[in-house]
Chains A and B, each alone.
Chain A
Amino acid sequence: MRWKQPTRAAQPLLLPAFALFALITVLAFQIRLLLLASAWIDRITISLAVGITLCAAGGGVYCNRTLRDSSETEVRYRNLVDSIDEGFCIIEMIYDSEGRPVDYRFLEVNPAFERQTGIENARGRTMREITPLHEQHWFDTYGRVALTGEPTRFQNHATQLGRWFDVHAFPIDAPCLHRVAVLFHDLTERLRIEQEIRESTAQFRAIYERAPVGIEQVALDGRLLMVNSTQCGILGYTEAEMLSLTFEDITHPADRPREAALLELLFSGQQESYNMEKRYVHKNGTPVWVNITSTMVRSRDGAPEYRITVVEDITTRKHAEQAIINTEKLAVAGRMAAAMAHEINNPLGAALNSLYLISLDQSLSEANCQYLDFAQRELERVAHITKQTLGFYRETGSPTKVDLREVADDVINLYRPKLNNKDVQVDLRFQIGVPIYGIEGELRQVLSNLFSNSIDAVDTQGCIRLRIAGPLTLDGKRPVARLTVSDDGVGIPRQHIEKIFEPFFSTKENTGTGLGLWVTQQLVRKHGGKIRVRSKPGVGSVFQVYLPMERRTLERITQGHGNRDLRATA
């Protein structure tokens, strides 16, 4: 037999019903005793008693079962409420005479309630007793839930408790009881952490954006995930352009293998970070020297996630270092030149002297005289070259009037054998009447260096044009003479044009010292002049030297050198 589950409202009525039946049975038995009734009454009474007893037994079983069920639910509910981390309470709203919610009483609280609110022994007390200054909005909200039966969720601050709460409030029990169940937890710590994270993120952002160094976040596959504005500035890209590139794209090809080796150490976990000086490539194609420190960021289990690279632009420092290296090279070259000049000039002098002495012999055959003459001329060329490139030049007195035509003739004669060898044509033209004041030896060297370069640049049967013109007035300034050496040779690649006047820059492998044009420029500047170059690979080059023609200009320029000017030309 199975009991139909009664409605919850009907359950309390069953027990009195059974008690009533039991009472009737007992009364019926008493009546029989009093009336000594007949057997049919007896049978009825016994049947009735049996029925009632059965009913009573069934009712007792049912009641017991219902009570037990109710008690289990109660235990489950209690266990649940007691074990959750959230605070839980049931409150009963208190309204004033005008129906405004003014307070509430705690009917039930769970153990977490105290932890979450800091309120001890709340049960039975009202909120106003505990925190008289509790904000009115709390009472309004719970009052509304109790009156409307609408549950609500919200977050708010309880000033007197010094806490933030996340709250879920819903009606409970009969509406007329104005009871509200409140499930909540303390948000204060989480909000504090969130605030700290916000602040530290803001600080990080500020540092990241305003840092004088570039910062990159690099994915494991090399893509740039994040770059700061300094980094964009170093390389001339916009942020969007940078984020479409990989770190390899912006690294100079020559430095990639070196960095790949360091990355290997990083990925394998042998190193946490590496530092290197390398070149990036600017958007405009020029190399940018940087000092980078790249650090691997790993997940909790140690797996690489991404790299953070800090980038310092050291181009200026590198240029300074290069300048120092060049200066040192010059010093070394100077010492070498001095030593070589000494070692070469003495034997050269002795040989020239000896040849001269032989040439005094009247009995020499005509052929021998010619050979001797040839030997002397060649050795004089050697002497001239050592003086020009390795030696030290001595000029007497102040700048003198120099006939550039004579200088040009001298230079052409000096290179005559070389010109003949290559079958190179020289086209020499003058504008008549070009007086110039200067130091003849130095001007000869200027022309000699340019001329020598042109001979090297042209092919066999090439052509070199030499023009001397003046006085010219350019830009309305003082009159200048213009000396032009042009050739139809190989020309100078665009990327070399800016470098050709730097010391030790040479494209002539094995034969060039890299000093010729540098010396030339120094000498032209000393004369207050300028040197210009135009060139096109495969077409030829034009070098133009502009020299001031006024005497006073030059005297002013060379005054500091004194009358006895021993010039280092290398």
Chain B
Amino acid sequence: MAINILIVDDERALAETLCAILIHAGFAPLSAHSTAEARTILDSTPIDLLISDVVMPGMNGYELAMYTSKHHPQTRIVLLSGNAATQEIVTLGDSGEYQFDLLAKPIAPRQLIAYIRSLFDPSTQQRAG
């Protein structure tokens, strides 16, 4: 069964290349370039994994993560950030109400693929989304 992944990043180049990599790796990714677009997709399509940038215009990645966590609790969430503003997210994320991982940008494609596989590998005991 293909794993549905939604990639959200306002940097198109990043979102599109990531999409291509994941397609090649056998996943079924979709891409969105804004949080509004991402919410439309989330509300209409079952998504197994949300990979989102944090700093974006309008609703940011953290708010999108909270929205997703609330409305689509089955979706796992990974935030990508290269920015200090994410400090707050980590603190809040630790409170237990919302659970998501945070990865530092840039992430090497091979590492990302390995990471996603480990998330959905039934042999490892990862937490439920």
B128 within 8 A of A: no
Measured CA separation A348–B55 after assembly (Å): 16
List the one stretch of A316-324, A385-393, A504-512, A547-555 in contact with chain B.
Answer: A385-393
Please state if B84 and A337 are interface contacts (CB–CB under 8 Å).
Answer: yes
Please state if A383 and B90 are interface contacts (CB–CB under 8 Å).
Answer: no
Cβ–Cβ < 8 Å partners of B83 in chain A: 338, 341-342, 392
B98-116 residues with Cβ-Cβ distance < 8 A to A are 102-110
Measured CA separation A338–B84 after assembly (Å): 5
What string of 1s and 0s marks CB contacts (under 8 Å) between B54-68 and chain A?
010000000000000
B36 within 8 A of A: no
What string of 1s and 0s marks CB contacts (under 8 Å) between A309-352 and chain B?
00000000000000000000000001101100110111111101
* Closest CB in chain A relative to B22 CB, distance in Å: 10
Highest count of chain A CB atoms <10 Å: which of B18, B55, B108: B108
Measured CA separation A443–B84 after assembly (Å): 21
Cβ–Cβ < 8 Å partners of B102 in chain A: 394, 564, 566
A176 within 8 A of B: no
* Total inter-chain residue pairs, C-beta < 8 Å: 88
Measured CA separation A253–B86 after assembly (Å): 49
Measured CA separation A360–B109 after assembly (Å): 12
Please state if A564 and B93 are interface contacts (CB–CB under 8 Å).
Answer: yes
Please state if B14 and A349 are interface contacts (CB–CB under 8 Å).
Answer: yes
A374 within 8 A of B: no
Interface size class of B (residues with CB under 8 A): 20 to 34
Cβ–Cβ < 8 Å partners of A344 in chain B: 82
* Closest CB in chain A relative to B1 CB, distance in Å: 23
Cβ–Cβ < 8 Å partners of A335 in chain B: 84
Please state if B84 and A357 are interface contacts (CB–CB under 8 Å).
Answer: no
Main SS at interface, chain A: helix
Measured CA separation A342–B28 after assembly (Å): 27
* Closest CB in chain B relative to A374 CB, distance in Å: 15
Q: Given A357-B17, A380-B108, do A350 and B11 touch, yes or no (CB 8 Å)? A: yes
Please state if A356 and B106 are interface contacts (CB–CB under 8 Å).
Answer: no
Cβ–Cβ < 8 Å partners of A334 in chain B: 84
B37 within 8 A of A: no
B78-96 residues with Cβ-Cβ distance < 8 A to A are 81-87, 90, 93-94
* Closest CB in chain B relative to A444 CB, distance in Å: 14
* Closest CB in chain A relative to B56 CB, distance in Å: 11
Cβ–Cβ < 8 Å partners of A337 in chain B: 84
A389-409 residues with Cβ-Cβ distance < 8 A to B are 391-394
* Closest CB in chain B relative to A338 CB, distance in Å: 4
Cβ–Cβ < 8 Å partners of A342 in chain B: 55, 82-83
A148 within 8 A of B: no
Measured CA separation A526–B108 after assembly (Å): 28
Measured CA separation A486–B2 after assembly (Å): 53
Cβ–Cβ < 8 Å partners of B109 in chain A: 352-353, 356
Measured CA separation A404–B81 after assembly (Å): 28
Measured CA separation A356–B113 after assembly (Å): 12
Please state if A394 and B94 are interface contacts (CB–CB under 8 Å).
Answer: no
Measured CA separation A353–B14 after assembly (Å): 8
Q: A342-B55, A344-B82, A392-B86 are in contact. List 5 more A-B contacts (CB 8 A).
A: A347-B13, A350-B13, A354-B17, A392-B87, A568-B87
Q: Identify the 5 closest CB pairs spanning chains A and B, nearest first.
A: A353-B17, A345-B82, A349-B106, A338-B84, A350-B13
